[in-house]
Amino acid sequence: MVSSAVLSFARSERFALLALVLAIAFPIACGFRTYPLFIAAQFAVFAMVALSLDVLMGRSGQISLGHAGFFALGAYAAAILSARFDVDLLAGAIAGAALAALGSLIVGLPATRLSGHYLGIVTLGFGVAVAQIALKWTALTNGDEGVHVRTIHLAGIVLSSPLHVYAVAFVALAAVAVFAARLPRTRLGRAFAAVRDSEIAAAAMGISVARTKVTAFVISAAIAGAAGALYAALTGFVAPEDFGISQSLLFFAMVVVGGTASTAGTLLGALVLDAVSQGAATVGGLSVALIGAAIVAVALFRPAGLKSLWRRGEGSR
């Protein structure tokens, strides 16, 4: 049993190495063309949100059906700051993360008393509300015309080519993935798992259940918000239709299909679902149906998600 833990550690390092090689090889393989780089960078941004959602769902045992709401808060914060004040992407991302974290208190505080279905409903409502505010508060958001980002610069350096944005997106994804993968080996990660698995035992072990749940929401939302800022930089333009229920559903599906409480699983789920939704979008309007079908298929045939392809004997988590 000890040796299997050692093996899985080595495996995670091999996985990280493979991911790094792929991330470097991809731009060369696609001849530095704009469209593939854009699609790949967008995948990186969505995968960040999926990882943030797994921190909430897989690691702390809560649920969010409205994660696009946090993503939207970060995207709008960065886009508006850029459009009006030419604010740097780094500052925009920090502001986006902070705004999303603030927004998470709106749902995170009730989460201390709600669970299961009720928390699902509250978060779903939150996601819908954020998209509606983006649509209706035209003085701030331009409504459905959206907000155009000014020149993108990061810590003073102008990101002039798609390759730059691609690099920034994958460095950010790597940082989030390292955080998510290390979390279970930290005190905070254990507190999350404790609250997920037994609230009474968690309390008996000195863990404040309410505070831990809110902390998970704040961290998850902050990451999603920072990803939103990157998304604004990537697309150069944000509009309400990018942050609807179907986007929340996509993030949710990435985690469920990949397998909760697994960083590699969630990354794989993000890759599969992103490919599915990109492919379906070109066919036209099929995307949501396919995402739904993927969730149903996993629930029926592989409840533990894709992670069960390589992780065995760990039950359904």
Partner 1 sequence: MLQCSGVTVRFGGLVPLDGVDLHVPDRGLFLVVGPNGAGKTTLLNVISRLVTPSAGSVRFAGRDLLALEPSALLYAGIARSFQKAELFVGLSALDNVLVGLDHRRVPERAARMRALGMLEALGLGGVAHVTAGTLPHGYQKLVDLARALVSEPKLLLLDEPLAGVTAAEIPTLLRAIRDAARDRAVLMIEHHLELVLELAERVTVLDFGRTIAEGPPETIRRDPAVIRSYLGGKAVEHAW
What does the binding site for partner 1 look like in residue numbers (CB under 8 A)?
Answer: 1-2, 4-5, 184-187, 190-191, 193-194, 196-198, 200-209, 261, 313-315, 317
- Cα atoms found within 13 Å of the Cα of residue 41, Cβ hemisphere only: 26
Cα–Cα distance, 156 to 94 (Å, whole number): 15
d(CA 270, CA 293): 15
Alpha-carbon dihedral sign for residues 253, 254, 255, 256: positive
Q: Give the nearest distance from C-beta 88 to partner 1 in angstroms.
A: 35
Taking the least distance from each CB to partner 1, the nearer of 86 and 314 is: 314
Q: Kind of pairing, strands 147-148 and 237-238?
A: antiparallel
Cβ of residue 189: shortest distance to partner 1, in angstroms? 9
CB of 186 to partner 1, least distance (A): 8
Q: Could you write out the DSSP letters of every residue in 90-159?
A: HHHHHHHHHHHHHHHHHHHHHHTT--THHHHHHHHHHHHHHHHHHHH-HHHH-GGG-EE----EETTEE-
Report, in Å, the least distance between residue 39 CB and partner 1.
Answer: 35
Q: Least CB distance from residue 155 to partner 1, whole Å?
A: 32
Nearer to partner 1 by Cβ, of 111 and 193: the residue is: 193
169/255 with CB nearer partner 1: 255
CA distance 292 to 246: 10
Q: What is the DSSP letter of 62?
A: -
Nearer to partner 1, 170 or 192 (CB): 192
Name 149's Cβ contacts closer than 8 Å, sequence gap at least 6.
78, 79, 82, 83, 232, 233, 235, 236, 237, 238
Q: Which is nearer to partner 1, 174 or 203 (CB)?
A: 203
**Between 207 and 272, CB nearer to partner 1:** 207
Minimum Å gap between C-beta 18 and partner 1 is 24
Measured distance CA(131)–CA(240) in Å, rounded: 6
Of residues 304 and 306, the one with the C-beta less far from partner 1:
304
Instruction: Report, in Å, the least distance between residue 211 CB and partner 1.
Output: 8
